Amino acid sequence: MTAIVHAHHTPTLSERLKDASAAAFIALILGIPMIGMTTVDQGGFLAVMTRWPQLALFVGLTFAGRILFSLALETIKRRSQGRKSGKSAASAAEAANAALKRGTKPESVIGWLAVGIAVALPIFFSEDRYIIDIATSVLIYIMLGWGLNVVVGLAGLLDLGYVAFYAVGAYTYALLSTQFGWGFWEALPVAGGLAALFGVLLGWPTLRLRGDYLAIVTLGFGEIIRLLLVNWTELSGGPNGITSIPRPSVFGYAFLPPDTEGSIADLLGIEFSPMHRLLFLYYLILLLALLTNLFVTAMRRLPLGRAWEAVREDEIACKAMGINVTTVKLSAFAIGAMLGGFAGVFFAARQGFISPESFTFSESAIILAIVVLGGMGSQLGVVLAALVLVMLPELGRDFAEYRMLLFGFAMIVIMVWRPGGILANRAPTLIHVPTGDKA
Amino acid sequence: MMLQMTGVHAHYGHVHALRGIDLSVQVGEVVTLIGANGAGKSTLMTSLFGAPRCSSGQIIFDGEDITRLPTHQISHRGIALVPEGRRIYPRMTILENLQMGVSYADPSNFEVDLKRMEALFPILESRRHQAAGTLSGGEQQMLAIARALMSRPKLLLLDEPSLGLAPLYIRKVFEIIQELNRDYGMTILLVEQNANHALKVAHRAYVLQHGEIVLSGTGQELLSDPAVRAAYLDGGSH
């Protein structure tokens, strides 16, 4: 709250001390039970011991940290203000118009470059299982981010339960394949359709809600699905989940050891390697993700996609323009959910094992963080944010138990540095110059 | 007859916002509705769109009863609203805003209408790909009017178009209203607080007070009516 005040005027020393004291006081209250006291095992029973010196250190650090934070924030603000006043709004607009006329935007160049790197990656790391695994995870999150982007970024409907649709897709494939012997490609559209149905199911009762109220209901919906999966043991296997889910096959051939029936290695006459399956999975999710991107980009240019954005911008104006807000919102929920369902199918097929533990609220939170940090509605932003958010905990492995701290810190840095997300610029969906002699 | 409201009542919860409105707009007319804050002017406008739905009474538009029609279908019948406070889509470009105004039923006139709007409001052409939120208030109002016109309405509703604008743009808004009516034969229902300007451009006018129409007549009649002068004009906006 005080950070906002800092943006407008330079706080005096006493203001800063007051602010830091308030933070230290909160730290003290929180710290008494969390740091000040601890339980120790004394001959079979627990005793409470106090740790006042540590608590004093914690409060002192909070005090100092708060002062440093407010100083740093101010420096950043001052710098960005200096940059802004440097170029006027008019020249920015001219630059934008010029960029549009040229046709190539830096974003599209980066986008193609990213696709190129993604396609070439396994060529350089074909033996490095770790890299391929992480890259596959990143792509799953990119796909989920693009799916959620339809709901949150484009239609402006804050959905905190997105993981529910991911779960619906994953369980649909798991059940269809283990119970009825369906293949990956047969189950994919069915699972997507079912997830879309769940999207409509969630969308229908929440049509009149928005903002925080919608967020709470979707949060609850996500939990309902997870609790159903935990408790409906006959269907979902309960907390034990579903095991030995078949891996995706290629025209009936699977990645099996040599001399097994239907082995791809035998068919192609190449040496069997377990890496082949991982590489195949990598390219499969890359394909699914790219299709998702093409689909969403195409949707944005259709009247329906533009109506999603219009509903985000101003619902009342939409109603007055004769847009059926109900259909527009439901279609956003359904399509977002369908894409989440596709990602879920892939997830189940890749893991071979799923349980409700993979579909907790923290998954929804990470996907939402990817969309928000990427810059709501930006396709490339989602890619960058997914890279940061998935890679960071991996890079942070050396920091052991501090990696979540690092993760949180990185998110704060992004929000301070780019409050609108990494790529906050919105790409226009209609770039068309009418021909002069038509009217 | 373009629009005919008969005995329309509307409620916001327990608040009785419209109390038996009788109002009509003829083809080719500019009709103005004036009244103080909270008199129910905006409610009257939005009740045409079913928000709030009228609790009793009847609304006939172009020979069809639209009283119970779903909101989104009412605009398809040929009514366009320029909402209070403009309500343009700020993060979308001007071109996209105009495109959203095109009726779903017949998007084929987009190019032609776009050229017409850009001729009427030159500012829109030079800023085609700029986010609408970066326009000034007056420019945004021009955009909101252009967006409404993109659907080729039979009746144009303007809800306080001069609200919060600089004097230069206030004059411009009323010029455009006259131009649309005179040169294009547009039928217009205008809600205004700026009674002086609004009555001057109106063929006929109604005065709304506490959800009831207390006075009606030609624009000139109301301009010279002592009660209207005392309540809405003297010491007001001129």
Domain regions of chain A by residue span: 2-79, 110-417
Residue A396 has pLDDT above 80, yes or no: no
Residue closest to A370 by CA, chosen among A355, A358, A361, A380: A380
- The predicted model scores a pTM of 0.78
Distance between CA atoms of residues A344 and A348, nearest Å:
6
Kindly tell me the burial class for residue B110, based on how many C-beta atoms sit within 10 Å of its own C-beta (0-12, 13-18, 19 or more).
middle
Instruction: Kindly report, residue by residue over B5-36, the tens digit of the pLDDT.
Output: 999 999 998 999 999 999 999 999 999 999 98
Q: What residues pair up with A42 in beta bridges, in sequence order? A: A45
Q: Which residues contact B42 (CB under 8 A, 6 or more apart)?
A: B84, B159, B160, B191
Q: What residues pair up with A46 in beta bridges, in sequence order? A: A41
Residue B237 has pLDDT above 70, yes or no: no
Q: In Å, what is the CA distance from A297 to each residue of A199, A293, A321?
A: 20, 6, 24
Residue B94 has pLDDT above 80, yes or no: yes
Distance between CA atoms of residues B183 and B120, nearest Å:
12
- Structure tokens of B186? 């547009």
- Structure tokens of A167? 């779960």
Tell me the nearest-neighbour CA distance from B142 into chain A, angstroms.
15
- Structure tokens of A133? 């695994």
pLDDT class of A83 with cuts at 50, 70, 90: low
If you count them, how many residues does chain A have? 439
User: Which of B125, B129, B159 should be substituted to probe chain A, the one whose Cβ sees the most A Cβ atoms within 10 Å?
Assistant: B129
Contact A317 B87 (CB under 8 A): yes
Residue closest to B211 by CA, chosen among B14, B19, B4, B5: B19
Distance between CA atoms of residues B137 and B198, nearest Å:
19
The reported pLDDT for the residue numbered A48 is 81
The reported pLDDT for the residue numbered B121 is 92
Residue A91 has pLDDT above 70, yes or no: no
Residue type, B93: T
Residue A149 has pLDDT above 50, yes or no: yes
User: Which of A319, A323, A328, A423 should be substituted to probe chain B, the one whose Cβ sees the most B Cβ atoms within 10 Å?
Assistant: A319
pLDDT class of B144 with cuts at 50, 70, 90: very high
Residue A321 has pLDDT above 60, yes or no: yes
Mean pLDDT of A113-130: 87
Contact A322 B129 (CB under 8 A): no
Residue A138 has pLDDT above 70, yes or no: yes
ipTM of the complex: 0.87
> Between B223 and A409, where is the model more confident?
B223
The reported pLDDT for the residue numbered B236 is 47
Residue type, A416: V
Q: Which residues contact B216 (CB under 8 A, 6 or more apart)?
A: B204, B205, B206, B207, B222
Q: In Å, what is the CA distance from A167 to each residue of A284, A339, B131?
A: 19, 12, 38
Distance between CA atoms of residues A139 and A346, nearest Å:
11
User: Which of B79, B82, B96 should be substituted to probe chain A, the one whose Cβ sees the most A Cβ atoms within 10 Å?
Assistant: B96
Percentage of chain A beyond pLDDT 70 is 88
Mean pLDDT of A380-395: 88
Contacts of B96 in chain A (CB under 8 A): 306, 309, 428-430
Which stretches of chain B sit within 8 Å of chain A by CB? Answer: 49, 51, 70-76, 80-81, 83, 87-93, 95-96, 99-101, 103-104, 107, 111-112, 114-116, 127-131, 134, 147, 151
Residue B62, CB-side half-sphere exposure with 13 Å CA sphere = 12
Question: B115: nearest CA in chain A?
Answer: A439
Q: Which of A87-101, A121-135, A145-159 reaches the highest mean pLDDT?
A: A145-159
Mean pLDDT of B191-207: 93
Residue B129, Ramachandran bin (φ over 0: left; ψ between -120 and 50: alpha; else beta): alpha
Instruction: Kindly report, residue by residue over A221-277, the tens digit of the pLDDT.
Output: 999 999 999 999 999 999 999 999 988 877 767 777 777 777 777 777 777 777 888
B3 close to B77: Cβ distance less than 8 angstroms: no
Tell me the nearest-neighbour CA distance from A383 into chain B, angstroms.
22
- The b/e string for A94-120 (b: 16+ C-beta within 10 A; e otherwise) is eebeeebeeeeeebeeebeeeeeebee
Domains and their CATH numbers in chain B: 3-86+154-233 (3.40.50.300)
